[in-house]
Structure 1
């Protein structure tokens, strides 16, 4: 069966899962993990990366990058939404921009140093002639997500460390020899520096997937109103396979989660499960229609 058939899709999914466990794993190690021939795994991995279906990148801890505030902003527009979406996607403060169906037309995740910066950014959004209103919640803790971070260990880094992080933001699987050549250090010195920063939690190596490549997948955002503190609910949700993202928030919602499913029936079942939680008093949902931006790299 060709790599475009059912076997190829299953192989890609298993390969990505193994890569998520160890983003810098060798082809030999990945082949062993998924019990496939080395040559096949090497070919599929290269095809996935070259096509842009997956990217392995270093995600720098937002707080280490000086980005102390992360917010989820919902935007309602009049007329077509594409122009406003393209504009906000061009801003470095936005890490995620998605066109949605629901009470709003566009959602974005922004990372900035202070609450004053959030106010300034929202003022920019509201000046766009198509924007009718905005609604904002501030994240207080991310319980599950592609790029959630634990607390990092404060440490000093020098110009060479920053250069290495920038290289890994572009290609988290760059080999030690190439990295060494780019910063004029030995391979062993580069390995020590990179591992030191990863162990400190300054950055994480993550696998970013192009939505839709690995089969039909629908995603839905949900804002939860809770009768109690969000930790208990989100701790349970973080272990659910259909939950892609979960964060505690302050503002319009007490928590925001993203659900995924292969069909509307799957999403309906996930919503029904959320409604059954005794802590959930109300919810509001929006369907993700098109991803405009998903870029978690930070300036260093």
Structure 2
């Protein structure tokens, strides 16, 4: 009887839609329980667990902890577009080797390669850019500097002063590899009780030291299209920033200076959904121009960074 009830509960669920809901929920809270996810979607825990396992093992979904860039001492955040002469893939692979590059993607448009990087100083930024310009095939690099992150799954909305010890560092290192590691496993690794490990993790999250969220390799799948946009403003910028901050289709948004006044990433299940968002942006009087690029292949998406390099116990 219970088995028949569970089958009936799952019968009308579209699996592609469910996969998208799981990804979205884990982007908001990477440690959300299977029970809570199932209750939110009206599905059984068995089905949600099965779909999450498929997403993880076959679709490249990862749930990881990332250090907030400000806490980690990364005060210079940039978005760069690269003009390439010849095949883009080899340049993208070399760029992915750059430790300061947290995101590398092959895209549409005149500049077929974009990357985001984080640096401790302007001097570090210049050193990285010189290295990129020296790569075979690189013709030109256009740099836009983020001045304020408006929305981002791996950027904490607020930070508090907090003192960390060796146990905190150990917990962060484990969660950087797998953000859904059980509290029991965390406790065993650092020789604490499960309740103490839970309290430590919540403290790190509440203080803005880390965010635990889902990232999905590759820019295009049956339930995820990703479009980058650069916005040039005319007049005041507040209405643009307000729209970017509240639109559910926008995964990331930053106020910036350089080539664009804002840089954002739109994610949706269909091109029509993303087109609607761009058209809504065009209706804002303060929007002067919008450039867009489709993400074809995300070569690197690594916001965790090396713990020893960033924090150093």
- Tell me if both proteins adopt one fold, taking TM over 0.5 as the criterion: yes
Deviation at 1:203, TM superposition (A): 0.8
CA RMSD after TM alignment: 2.3
CA distance in 1, matches of 2:220, 2:83: 29
Aligned to 1:160: 167
Q: 1:89 and 1:6, CA in 2 relative to 1: closer, same or farther beyond 3 A?
A: farther
Q: CA deviation at 1:144?
A: 2.0
What whole-Å deviation, never above 9, does each CA across 1:99-153 have from its counterpart, x for those lacking one? 1121312100001101111111000011112111111011011112332322311
Q: Write out per-residue CA displacement over residues 213-248 of structure 1, whole angstroms, 9 at most, x where no aligned residue.
A: 752543322211112343431211222233232110
Name the residue aligned to 2:21.
14
Distance in 2, Cα, partners of 1:175 & 1:264: 37
How many residue pairs end up in the alignment? Answer: 298
Among residues 222, 230, 234, which one is paired with 1:223 in the alignment? 230
Unpaired segments ≥5 residues, structure 2:
1-6, 308-313
Quick check: 11-20 or 89-98, which moved more?
A: 11-20
Rounded to whole Å, the distance in 1 between the matches of 2:51 and 2:289 is 44
Q: What is the CA–CA distance in structure 2 between the aligned matches of 1:33 and 1:265, rounded to whole Å?
A: 26
Q: Is 1:134 aligned to 2:146, yes or no?
A: no
1:89-238 superposed matches below 5 A: 89-211=96-218, 215=222, 217-238=224-245
How has the CA–CA distance of structure 1 residues 261 and 21 changed in structure 2, closer, same or farther, with 3 Å as cutoff? closer
Paired residues of 1:142 and 1:248 also in contact (CA < 8 A): yes
Q: Separation in 2 of the partners of 1:229 and 1:120? A: 34
Supply the distance in 1 between the matched residues of 2:38 and 2:278 (Cα, whole angstroms): 37
Give SS of 2:160's match. coil
Q: 1:55 pairs with 41, 46, 62, which one?
A: 62
Distance of 1:263 and 1:205 partners within structure 2: 26
Conservation of the 8 A alpha-carbon contact between 1:140 and 1:249: yes
Distance 1:9 1:84 in 2: 33
- 1:69 aligns to 2:112 (yes or no): no
1:242 paired to 2:249: yes
Corresponding residue SS for 1:62:
coil
Q: What's the TM-score, normalizing by structure 2?
A: 0.87
